[in-house]
Amino acid sequence: MSTNQNIKVAVDAVVFGYTSREGLSVLLIKRNIDPFKGSWALPGGLVGNQETLEDAVQRELSEETGVNINYLEQLYSFGQQGRDPRNRVISITYYGLVKPDGFELKANTDAADVKWFNIKKLPKLAFDHQAILQVARTRLQNKMQYEPVGFELLEEKFPFSELEKLYMAVLDRHIDRRNFKKKVSKFGFLEETNEKQLLDGAGRPGNLYRFNEQKYFELKEQGISFEI
């Protein structure tokens, strides 16, 4: 049976960031073209004929936001009819993790503006991007409980309290501090340094920690089961 097919392929990216000051945030662009001109949306666009999906999503992020991402993972495919009023478009979505302070945001091409939004203070999003964002957030919450990807969102050296705050921000729930530290410390890939935390006010500064990625992968090859 012959099939009359006129389907376009796009990529969209959910980029999460984290700072102690702002908590968990997501990177959004303000669209500069119709449809949904003037609305906030996830960065993304159509895949070029000669591009891989990964090249396309990295290009769109660079063009529309000025951000380049080391940690980028394929999330899900969204292809419901009517999700784009112009054409039948299937979006291959990705999610990534970055440190927001490490980039100078720059909107270009189809984006009139680019901005970080706190995950709890989001504007109305164009297309089906609200649903895409929810799937990405659930994936991140689940993954952080069995793989230490959260270290991608922290500085190279950090106080242990910052790791706790990160997990509470992503999981959106309280965690038992003593139990959490005991669980994380037992794996052996979190190293305590001799450097002290800088405090603005009174209090005793604690030591800073760092993630030993090489140690983690060695333990993973041995069959370690990371679970928070």
pLDDT 10s digits, 15-73: 999 998 899 999 999 999 999 999 999 999 999 999 999 999 999 999 999 999 877 99
Output b/e per residue, 92-109; b: 16+ Cβ within 10 A.
bbbbbbbebeebebebee
The pLDDT, as a whole number, for residue 183 is: 87
pTM of the shown model? 0.91
Asked if pLDDT for residue 202 goes beyond 70, the answer is: no
Sort strands 23-31 and 40-41 into parallel, antiparallel or unpaired.
Answer: antiparallel
- Work out the percent of the chain whose per-residue pLDDT is above 90: 71
Higher pLDDT, 3 or 183: 183
The pLDDT, as a whole number, for residue 102 is: 85
pLDDT 10s digits, 70-87: 779 999 999 999 999 999
Asked if pLDDT for residue 199 goes beyond 70, the answer is: no
Cβ count near 146 (within 10 Å): 11
Q: Which residues contact 168 (CB under 8 A, 6 or more apart)?
A: 174, 175
Share of the chain residues as helix, strand and coil, in percent rounded to the nearest 5: 30, 30, 40
Q: Is the peptide bond before 35 cis (omega within 30 degrees of 0)?
A: yes
Select, from the ranges 120-134, 167-181, 211-225, the one with the highest average predicted confidence (pLDDT): 120-134
The pLDDT, as a whole number, for residue 206 is: 84
pLDDT 10s digits, 114-149: 999 999 999 999 999 999 999 999 999 999 988 888
d(CA 104, CA 116): 11
Domains and CATH numbers, the chain: 7-143 (3.90.79.10), 150-221 (1.10.10.10)
The pLDDT, as a whole number, for residue 220 is: 79
What angle, 0 to 180 degrees and rounded to 10, lies between the N-to-C axes of helices 177-185 and 160-171? Answer: 110
Handedness of CA 75, 146, 19, 22 (dihedral sign): positive
